Amino acid sequence: MKLESNAVIQIQRPIEEVFEGIVNPDKMTNYFISESSGRLESGKKLIWKFPEFPDKFPITEVKIEANHSVSFVWDPETVVNITLEKLPNNDTIVRVNESGKEFNEDNLKWSLENSGGWANFLACMKAYLEYGIQLRKGAFEFMRKI
């Protein structure tokens, strides 16, 4: 049995703006990462950095379908799939699914934590894309290793 984490939100922006907010590092650094070695594009390998951690995270196996989906690997055991759905009122539903880990106690903890993490990602993205608010800034300072 494989575990997965899921999160979903509706963003009051056109699908093209939401997609750009996910693939463009100039946008993503305002609500999720602190650095990226480039734009998310199919076949590209990137390095992401987060403001709270000294580690750098390799992003591989990137697959993009413009204005529809983004997938990548940043944990060799899992695949992240982000899908976008345009609503009749021009809002966008964003779904995040990360799956692949085998069921065991440690991975069950991972699944629960990541579901919360992806929900936070979506809330931060919504605040930034709709209102220009940077919810993530300073939110995880307590997690820095001293």
Q: Which pLDDT score is estimated for 145?
A: 63
Q: Which pLDDT score is estimated for 141?
A: 73
> Could you say which residues of the chain have pLDDT below 50?
none
* pTM score, whole prediction: 0.93
- The topology under which CATH files domain 2-139 is Alpha-D-Glucose-1,6-Bisphosphate; Chain A, domain 4 (3.30.530)
Q: How buried is residue 50: exposed, middle or buried, by Cβ count under 10 Å (0-12/13-18/19+)?
A: middle
> To which H or E segment does residue 11 belong?
strand 2-11
Describe the crossing of helices 15-23 and 105-131 by its angle, rounded to 10 degrees: 120
Q: Which pLDDT score is estimated for 53?
A: 83
Q: Which pLDDT score is estimated for 42?
A: 98
Domain assignments of the chain as residue spans, ordered by start: 2-139
